[in-house]
């Protein structure tokens, strides 16, 4: 049974779509204009109904400058999930189960469509105008005699009163006064001089006021009692035939059940050994599955250990490569050889400088020796000159 709210939401949604001029901006040869109960009931082609719903949501999201993250060829569950996310992003909060939207009809679809259309109209600054009611005036009230109303008697006590006279008065028409000699006009074709438009306006004005109100009847329980007695008589009349048919049907069903039970017993007896084999194989399967689970856990642990060993092996390989690269590298040896050559050259230069300095010192001492000899001749100490000569000879 369709909820009344779904019908209301669907009807209002169609009105709002017409306000947005969807017939010219959205509809095409495939997507026809909607009926006022299109999303309330399941259609013959539910795929077309779901496609119409999704395409309509995409069009409305485009009016809100939002992008739909789905395609018409996507899975329906993915489409519904992305649709709810897009509605939440534009500020439309709906509490709907996604499974109901997948159907393409129902309360959830109508609620989502109505909420989104309301948001679109709100952002486009649309406002509903106040209804304008035509001034029909008040009906003329009949004059009431207060004395007759006070001294009136009941309707049941009035002579010739009752429902028959009220019906006659309701359908009574005023007779038009005609001249006495105009009998041919009564038999001729009647020509109405009333304008049909004015007649329709008068019907629309008077129709709401011609409502028949049935008063509460105190004897209503008696009607119910008479209906109950009538139903009882019908039941008592039809009960024997129906009871005989039901008993016959019960016997046939009992016989069918007996046959089914006998066949079931026969089948159980014939396939007992197969059932035993099945139970045995089921037990073996359970055992094998338990063993498989244990071995699978062992394999998983070994795989984890293998992974750790491989990581350690990679680290060791990297260290060995670094060491081998440092061992085979001859750049330090070349640098050491260059340093030795430089030291030898520096040593040779130092030896040359030492020799030059020694030679210079010896020349200086040789220049000083004649002067010392002269001093010795003229009263100098004789031994001092010899010692200096010896020192110079030793050098």
Residue 344 corresponds to which tokens in the numbers above? 């030898």
| pLDDT value for 173 | 44
| pLDDT value for 321 | 86
Complete DSSP assignment for 332-349: HHHHHHHHHHHHHHHHHH
| pLDDT value for 292 | 94
Residue with tokens 């100490």: 381
- Kindly report the average pLDDT of the chain as a whole number: 78
Tens-digit pLDDT profile for residues 354-373: 999 999 999 998 988 776 66
Contact 43, 49 (CB under 8 A): yes
| pLDDT value for 368 | 86
pLDDT in tens, the chain (395 residues): 457 888 888 889 898 888 888 888 888 888 888 888 888 888 888 888 888 999 999 999 888 888 887 877 788 888 888 888 888 888 888 888 888 888 888 888 898 999 989 988 888 887 776 766 666 555 444 444 444 444 444 444 444 444 444 444 444 444 444 445 455 555 556 667 788 888 888 888 887 777 655 555 555 677 788 889 999 999 999 999 999 999 999 999 999 999 999 988 888 888 888 888 899 999 999 999 999 999 999 999 999 999 999 999 999 999 888 888 777 777 778 888 999 999 999 999 999 999 999 999 999 989 887 766 656 655 544 444 444 444 444 44
- Dihedral sign, CA of 94, 83, 1, 4? positive
CB-based contacts of 185, cutoff 8 Å, min separation 6:
178
Task: Give the percent of the chain with pLDDT over 70.
Answer: 74
Residue 334 corresponds to which tokens in the numbers above? 């070349």
* C-alpha separations of 132 from 127, 135, 151, 208 in Å: 15, 9, 45, 17
């Amino acid at each position: 049974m369709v909820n009344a709210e779904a019908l209301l939401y669907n009807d209002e949604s169609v009105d709002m779509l017409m306000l947005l001029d969807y017939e010219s901006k959205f509809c095409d040869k495939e997507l026809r204009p909607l009926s006022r109960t299109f999303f309330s009931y399941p259609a013959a082609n539910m795929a077309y109904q779901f496609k119409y719903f999704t395409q309509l949501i995409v069009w409305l999201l485009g009016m809100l400058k939002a992008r739909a993250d789905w395609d018409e060829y996507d899975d329906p569950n993915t489409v519904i999930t992305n649709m709810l996310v897009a509605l939440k992003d534009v500020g439309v909060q709906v509490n709907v189960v996604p499974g109901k939207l997948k159907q393409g009809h129902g309360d959830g679809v109508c609620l989502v469509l109505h909420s989104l259309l309301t948001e679109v109209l709100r952002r486009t600054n649309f406002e509903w105008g106040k209804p304008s009611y035509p001034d029909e005036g008040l009906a003329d009230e009949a004059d009431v005699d207060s004395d007759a109303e006070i001294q009136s008697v009941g309707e049941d006590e009035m002579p010739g009163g009752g429902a028959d006279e009220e019906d006659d008065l309701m359908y009574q028409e005023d007779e038009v006064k005609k001249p006495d000699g105009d009998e041919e006009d009564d038999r001729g074709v009647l020509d109405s001089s009333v304008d049909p438009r004015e007649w329709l306006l008068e019907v629309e004005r008077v129709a709401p006021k011609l409502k028949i109100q049935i008063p509460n009847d105190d004897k209503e329980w008696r009607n119910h009692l008479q209906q109950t007695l009538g139903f009882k008589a019908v039941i008592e009349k039809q009960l024997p035939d129906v009871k005989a048919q039901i008993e016959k049907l019960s016997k046939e069903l009992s016989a069918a059940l007996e046959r089914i039970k006998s066949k079931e017993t026969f089948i159980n007896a014939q396939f007992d050994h197969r059932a035993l084999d099945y139970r045995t194989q089921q037990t073996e399967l359970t055992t094998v599955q338990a063993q498989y689970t244990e071995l699978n856990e062992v394999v998983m642990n070994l795989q984890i250990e293998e992974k750790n060993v491989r990581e350690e092996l990679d680290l060791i390989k990297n260290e060995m490569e670094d060491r081998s690269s440092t061992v085979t590298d001859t750049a330090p040896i070349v640098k050491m050889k260059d340093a030795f050559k430089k030291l030898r050259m520096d040593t040779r230069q130092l030896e040359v400088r030492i020799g030059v300095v020694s030679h210079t010192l010896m020349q200086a001492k040789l220049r000083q020796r004649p002067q010392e000899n002269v001093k010795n001749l003229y009263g100098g100490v004789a031994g001092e000159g010899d010692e200096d000569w010896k020192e110079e000879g030793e050098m």
